[in-house]
Amino acid sequence: MTNLASEPEFEQAYKELVSSLENSSLFEKNPEYKTALKVCSIPERIIQFRVVWEDDKGQLQVNRGYRVQFNSALGPYKGGLRFHPTVNLSVLKFLGFEQIFKNALTGLNMGGGKGGADFDPKGKSDNEIRRFCCAFMSELGKHIGADTDVPAGDIGVSGREIGWLFGQYKKQTKLWEGVLTGKGGSWGGSLIRPEATGYGVVYYVEHMIKYASGGTESFSGKKVTISGSGNVAQYAALKVIELGGTVLSLSDSQGAIIATTPQGIDPEMIEIIAKLKVDRKQLSEVAHTSAFSSKVKYIDGARPWLHVGQVDVALPSATQNEVSGEEAEGLIAAGCKFVAEGSNMGCTKDAIDAFEAHRNFKKEKWVWYAPGKAANAGGVAVSGLEMAQNSARIKWTAEEVDEKLKLIMKNCFENGLQTAKTYVTPKEDEFPSLVAGSNIAGFTKVAAAMKDQGDWW
């Protein structure tokens, strides 16, 4: 990696994985896995292309498009498309690298990839976004397919954009196939897909709470701070409320709303926020209305972590590196016991180090942390279930999909837990490291498949 231009996000993700592997007994027991690490840290293929589109004034605009096809050992490349001005190769390589091991943890046959463009949908008309999607897929469509690479949505790419992308792919190829996930429910989409990441992270934390308490506790009565206000945050909040918890916060890139009543943020407020986000507007536009002002306070430019007071569970669900080391220490001081990432790499290395240093459950201030590659795997898991339904030309009920999602998240938790116990001996009175366990479990599964296929030996 030393001969490459600086790629800070990817380097952070790579070092986090390597740290887990090196601080375990994996390489001692299986020294050949050092070779596997060298191989799987380089993408199989990176596709870069220009996207030329016409704005509403008839003027040509150009953006950069990407698809990082990172690893196909376990199945077709699988990972979202992100439309955001911060998109670059480092960000997409980090996301694709994480996706490899996240997908492995689901137990489904999916490889890892990621893509997108440095296009900013904010401030664009619907027609401009549609024209951009068509131009983007005109090039991307040459490199994907139901058995090759199956993208999904991510930041800036909702079900609406998936529809436009799918339509353009179908026009070009004359194929109706499950080439994208997150499709509309009437034309190949899976029920529970919009909810899946948010629901999944809550299901995962349920198992953390049950394990830590010996089965005596649940989300009932827990105070939960959540960042973000997109799909992941919205549905995580709704599931927390359904299970008896209280939601203390939501946020966006401009600021945070913090609950000021014991009831917390309620489903009616979340419904208003969901409509707001469809229109790509900010929380500040509703925070001071009558529906919100008596129940929350708005803090401009802030993340919620240091403003919620006493808290039991923290769910970073916005974007990468949204919890700093200082904020992690603040959450620990506020009594937070469980942290799980709804976003990808939501915590900085300093934050992870702080959480990992406080796994001793005999101390008054302890916390147990779960990384995104395990805790937020529910979204891609249901994408995998959507692929299965498309292949069989069937449609499962919401209850069937939800039960499968619950089982996948249970297996994600138990796989990481048991792998940590196998390869990392915890200190006395410490919870097993879910970071190490999830990293090792995902990596070893991918590495073994690559070896079987002759990618290393």
Task: Note if 297 is an active site residue.
Answer: no
DSSP 430: B
The pair of structure tokens assigned to 165 is 């992308």
**Side-chain half-sphere exposure of 229, counting CA atoms within 13 A:** 33
- Considering 15, 29, 57, 114, which one is annotated as catalytic? 114
Around Cβ 54, how many Cβ atoms within 10 Å? 14
- Burial of 294 by CB count in 10 Å (0-12 exposed, 13-18 middle, 19+ buried)? exposed
Q: List the one residue out of 242, 290, 297, 302 whose CA is nearest residue 266.
A: 242
d(CA 434, CA 430): 12
- Residue ranges of the annotated binding site are 78, 99, 102, 153, 197, 231, 383
- Per-residue DSSP letters for 282-323? -GGGTTTSHHHHTTEEEEET--STTTS-S-SEEE--SSTT-B
Those residues whose C-beta lies under 8 Å from the C-beta of residue 150, and which sit 6 or more positions away, are 76, 77, 78, 110, 144, 178, 179, 180, 181, 383, 387
Rounded to the nearest 5°, which phi and psi values hold at 271?
A: -65, -40
d(CA 201, CA 195): 10
The pair of structure tokens assigned to 413 is 């938790």
DSSP 33: H
d(CA 445, CA 433): 18
- Strands 45-54, 60-71: pairing kind: antiparallel
Rounded to the nearest 5°, which phi and psi values hold at 149?
A: -155, 125
- Residue ranges of the annotated binding site for substrate are 78, 99, 102, 153, 383
- Burial of 265 by CB count in 10 Å (0-12 exposed, 13-18 middle, 19+ buried)? buried
Looking up tokens 């296929």, which residue turns up?
A: 453
Please answer whether residues 315 and 342 qualify as being in contact, where contact means their C-beta atoms are separated by less than 8 angstroms.
yes
Phi-psi region at 314: left, alpha or beta (left = phi > 0; alpha = psi -120 to 50)? beta
Q: List the one residue out of 325, 382, 351 whose CA is nearest residue 102.
A: 382
Strand ranges (E), 9-55: 45-54
Q: Which secondary-structure segment (H or E) carries 129?
A: helix 126-140
- Residue ranges of the annotated binding site for NAD(+) are 197, 231
Q: List the one residue out of 157, 180, 175, 167 whose CA is nearest residue 78.
A: 180
Instruction: Indicate which residues carry an active-site annotation.
Output: 114
